[in-house]
Structure 1
Amino acid sequence: MPILKSDCQSCHNDHCIIKKNRHLAQMKSFIDRKSMVQCKKGQNLIIEGAPVHGLYFVMEGKVKVAKTGLNGKEQIVRMAGNGEIIGHRGFGVGQFYQISAVSLEDTILCNFSNTEMKEMLLTIPSLTYDLMIFYAEELNRSETKVKKFAQMTVREKIIDAILYINRKFGQHKGFLNLQLSRKEIADFAGTTDEQVIRTISSLKKEGLILAAGKKIGIKNVNILSKEISEHNHFLDS
C-alpha cells in the first residue's frame, strides 16, 4: 500500500473524530506523525489474525469489515465510508485483529499507530470522549443487530441490508452508490446467495426496487421501510 502525505485541514470529513479535534494544540504533533495509505479496489487493508497496527480512518472511499464464521464463511459486520474508523475492535484489547477489512473501491486511509493512539487518548480528553461515544454507539448497534436478526425473516434481513447501504452511501442516478455482489449482500444479511437472488427478483417484480446486474435502486424508501418497521430498523449507519 503506497504511503501518501495529507493534512487534516484539507479533509472534508467533519464528523471524523480526528478532524473534530484538529484545532487543539496538542493534536498537531500527532497529525504530523500519522501515516497515509492508498488501497486499490479489492485490496485487503486488514487481515484477520494479523498483528494490530493501530486505528485506520477512512479519508476517502468505502470499506467492508468482515469476520470469519462457521465453516470459514465470511460474515460482513459493517461497511465504512468517509471519516469512519476501521480496526477499533482490535485496538486496546489484544495483539491481533479480530476482523478483516477490504476496500470496495479505491480508498485512502489515515493510520495512527497503537503507541500514537494511546498517547493521544491519555493527553487529549475530548478525543478520548469522542472515541468512547463511538464505542458505545457501536456496541448498541451490534446488540440491536443480534436481537433483530433472531426475529427477522430472510426477506426482512435482505431489505434491511439494502436500506442500510442506502442510509450509509445514498443513491446515484437511481441506484445505490455502492455495488455489491449477491454474495456480499448475503454475507452481510446472514443468508445465502440463492435467497438473495430470489428475494431481489421478488422485490423487483413487486416494483419496490430496480435491479440491473450488480446495481440495485430503491423506488420508494418509505414503502420498503414499512416492511421492517416493527423491528425498528437501524436509525443510522
Structure 2
Amino acid sequence: MAEYIDRKHSMTCKKGQNFIIEGAPVHGLYFVKKGKVKVAKTGLNGKEQIVRLARDGEIIGHRGFGAGHFYQISAVALEDTQLCNFNTDTLNEMLHKIPSLTFDLMSFYAEELNRSETKVKKFAQMTVREKVIDALLYINRKFGQNKGYLNIQLSRKEIADFAGTNDEQVIRVISALKKEGLIVSSGKKLGIKNVELLSKEISDHNFFLDS
C-alpha cells in the first residue's frame, strides 16, 4: 500500500460543506479521517433522505465507484471534517495489484448489500415511534454519548430525514419519550437515559446492523 498512500488527496471540509453532489461525476472514494458526515439521497418530491451517517475511518461514495459514472448520493460535513480521497484511476490500479484489498472491498460491499436488503424488508413494518427510536439508537451506537447527550447534534428535520418521517412527528415522539423519562433534551442536544429499555420497543425490528 505504501506506494499508493502518497497519491491520496487530503482535504478539510467546514461544517455544512457539501463535498459530494448527487448527480456529479464520480471522482473516487472518500475516507473520513476525523469528523462526522451525513450521506443523503433525493427522494420523492425532492425530499432529502439521509441514508446513513459516517464517522472516523468510514468510507463514502462507494456506491458510485465501479457502478456508474455519477454519484447517486450527496455528502455533507456535520462538523469540521478531515477527509482523504483516492481517485478512480488510483483505486483501479490498487484493486488490480493488491488482492487482499480487493477481497476486503468485496466483503464490504456484500455486507452493505445485506444491510440495505434487511432495512427495506423491515422498514415498512415499523410505526413512526419505532422509526424515531431506531434512529436515536443508531445514532447512539454510531457516535456514543458525552456528558449525558448524544455526541452529535442533529436538527429535528435531520432526524426526520433519517427516520423516514417528518419534523412534526419527530417532535411529538421526542416529547412523548421525554415525558416517559426515556430521553432528555437541551436545545438541539438529545440524550438517552435508558438504552436497554428503549431498545426493547424495537427488538423485533432492529435492522441497523452496523455500529
Same fold (TM over 0.5): yes
Question: Does 2:184 correspond to 1:213?
Answer: no
Instruction: State the shift of 1:107 in Å.
Output: 0.3
- Hey, what does 1:231 align to over in structure 2? 205
1:192 aligns with 2:159: no
Structure 1 residue runs without a partner (length 5+): 1-26
TM-score (ref. length: structure 1): 0.88
| Aligned counterpart, 2:94 | 120
Counterpart CA distance in 2 for 1:217 and 1:225 is 14
For 2:131 and 2:34, the matched residues in 1 are separated by 28
Deviation, structure 1 residue 123: 0.6
Deviations 1:166-191 (A, max 9, x none): 00000001000011000000000000
State the secondary structure of the residue aligned to 1:75: strand
- The aligned residue for residue 143 of structure 1 is 117
TM-score (norm 2): 0.98
Q: 1: distance between equivalents of 2:206 and 2:12? A: 37
Q: Match of 2:146?
A: 172
Letter in 1 for 2:62: H
1:70 has 2:44 as partner:
yes
Query: Helix, strand or coil: the match of 1:67?
Result: strand
For each residue in 1:37-60, what CA deviation from the matched residue of structure 2 results, as whole angstroms up to 9, or x when unmatched?
100000001000111110000000
The two structures, once aligned, show a CA RMSD in angstroms of: 0.8
Q: 2:61 aligns to what?
A: 87
State the one-letter code of the partner of 1:140.
N
CA–CA distance in 2 between the matches of 1:233 and 1:55?
A: 26
Which residue is equivalent to 1:111? 85
In the alignment, the residues of structure 2 paired with residue 102 and residue 143 of structure 1 have an alpha-carbon distance, to the nearest angstrom, of 25
Q: Name the SS of the counterpart of 2:129 in structure 1.
A: helix
- Larger RCO: 1 or 2 (CA < 8 Å, sep 6+): 2
Identity fraction in percent = 80
User: What is the distance in 2 between the residues matched to 1:37 and 1:232?
Assistant: 35
> Separation in 2 of the partners of 1:130 and 1:212?
41
Deviation string 1:2-36 (CA, Å, 9 cap, x unpaired) is: xxxxxxxxxxxxxxxxxxxxxxxxx1111011100
Deviations 1:125-156 (A, max 9, x none): 11111111111111111111111211000000
Q: Is the 2:134–2:206 Cα contact (8 Å) retained in structure 1?
A: no
What's the counterpart of residue 20 of structure 2? 46
When structure 1 is superposed on structure 2, of 101-110 and 132-141 the one drifting more is: 132-141
| SS of residue matched to 2:123 | helix
Structure 1 residue 236: deviation in Å? 2.4
**Runs of 4+ residues deviating >4 angstroms:** none
- Kindly provide the amino acid, as one letter, of the partner of residue 134 in structure 1: F
Count matched residues. 211
The counterpart of 2:135, out of the listed 155, 161, 171, is 161
Match of 2:178 among 204, 207, 225: 204
Q: Is residue 60 of structure 1 aligned with residue 47 of structure 2? A: no
CA displacement at 1:235 relative to structure 2: 3.4
Residue 203 of structure 1: CA displacement? 0.2
Query: Structure 1 residue 33 and structure 2 residue 7: aligned?
Result: yes
